[in-house]
Amino acid sequence: MEKKRVVVTGMGVISPVGTGLNKFWDSLVKGKSGIDKITRFDTSDLPSRIAGEVRDFNPEAYIEKKELKRLDRFTQFAISATKMALEDADLDLSTVDKTRIGVILGSGIGGNATWEEQHSILLSKGPKRVSPFFIPMMIVNMASGQVSMAFGLKGPNFTVVTACASGTNAIGEAFRTLQRGDADIIISGGTEAPITMLSLAGFSSMKALSSRNDEPSLASRPFDRERDGFVMGEGAGILVMESLDSALKRNAKIYGEVVGYGSTADAYHLTQPSPEGEGASRAMEAAISDAGISPSDVDYINAHGTSTPLNDKFETMAIKNTFGEHAYKLAVSSTKSMTGHLLGAAGAVEIVATLLSVYNDEIPPTINYENPDPECDLDYVPNRAVKRTVNIALSNSMGFGGHNACIIVKKFK
């Protein structure tokens, strides 16, 4: 059976550097950091007291007030970003067959804030005071479930949970579903709202987070020699993905075409990447093969680039192993330097950035790149965006548990 071509016709984003596509992209190309001291709770007992909080999001602009009390923040993000993406795609749902529209989202943690709040109520007030909405607010699949209910979408519906690769895997699975013809349109991406006391405490105990608390905007510094851990972020990235037939039929604007997807496992360690990025390299190779292109055809990589010592070193090695000499001609940047690490939503927000790079022929920088690391010796687009033709771009994601995912997008022609 011939595979259908898949394009992206609408995007919505909620991020620490801005809500909405225009604000998000403007901040990225200007190298603005969205990282600051945490404002939502007292962090004085925590080793890491900084994060990429979303500060310009008003959920009441997208969701009825009475409904908000029944939705964890990660689900609020998902519904709101979906509404943005549908509007951006100029998709009138009353004119299409909703049984042919699916929802495939990724989230690594889900309703963590609800879990913590209700557990506190259990301990302080007893089991009878636990909310009847606790379970349906907290479970990770509820973002895709609630999006389908909010917009009446009755096609394939599921949630991918692969830690920090969740958003990318969700988009990859949506790509496969559309290629097979199992749907005409899929709402896909990732959402996460992990900035809570328990999450910060857990990641801090693992020594995974940056402790550069006095210089928040300088803390996320992927590939820089002085990097000391990632900075947690929150938000959502949502794509309207369509078969090319569907998009052409309604004369839709097209941001780019999804052409390749690779997914592998390290089978190595709970949290550390496999030595020399072996698993990540295989994921990139699989995506390149799936796209039917040569490694030398890739112009830009939006790297996973977490600002942790091992990830950045091994991802650099993986890129060199995959691309050979072409690795030194590629542009490689990490937008996490500005947004922080959105965990399960990271890959989705980064694919939005990757598609905008292809659409606008501009590559966002890796900010805070001040001290070259001899083990990280590629072109990381340091500190300033560059104007460059980007025909084909790749986005990497890697998650705890050894999950690797890679998506390749290209200019639509």
As annotated, the active-site residues are 164, 304, 341
375 CB neighbour count, 10 Å cutoff? 13
Both tokens of 43, joined, read 């962090």
Query: Cα–Cα distance between 41 and 25 in angstroms, integer?
Result: 29
* Whole-angstrom distance, CA of residue 209 vs CA of residue 375: 21
Q: Which residues contact 202 (CB under 8 A, 6 or more apart)?
A: none
Name which of 7, 18, 30, 68 is nearest 365 in CA terms. Answer: 30
Q: Which long-range contacts (CB under 8 A, 24 or more apart) does 42-46 make?
A: 43/200, 46/197, 46/200, 46/201, 46/204
CA distance 275 to 216: 30
Token pair recorded at residue 105: 């989202």
Residue 231: name the closest of 334, 111, 363 by CA.
334
Per the CB < 8 A criterion, the answer to whether 363 and 129 are in contact is: no
Compute, in degrees rounded to 10, the torsion defined by CA atoms 387, 388, 394, 395: -10
Separation between Cα atoms, residue 247 and residue 42, nearest integer Å: 48
DSSP tag of 129: G
Q: Checking DSSP bridges between strand 6-15 and strand 256-265, what pairing results, if any?
A: antiparallel
Tokens of 172: 């990859």
End-to-end CA distance of the chain: 23
- How far is 240 from 10, CA to CA, in rounded Å? 5
Q: Are 400 and 164 in contact (CB under 8 A)?
A: yes
The dihedral over CA atoms of 199, 304, 226, 337, expressed in degrees to the nearest 10, equals -80
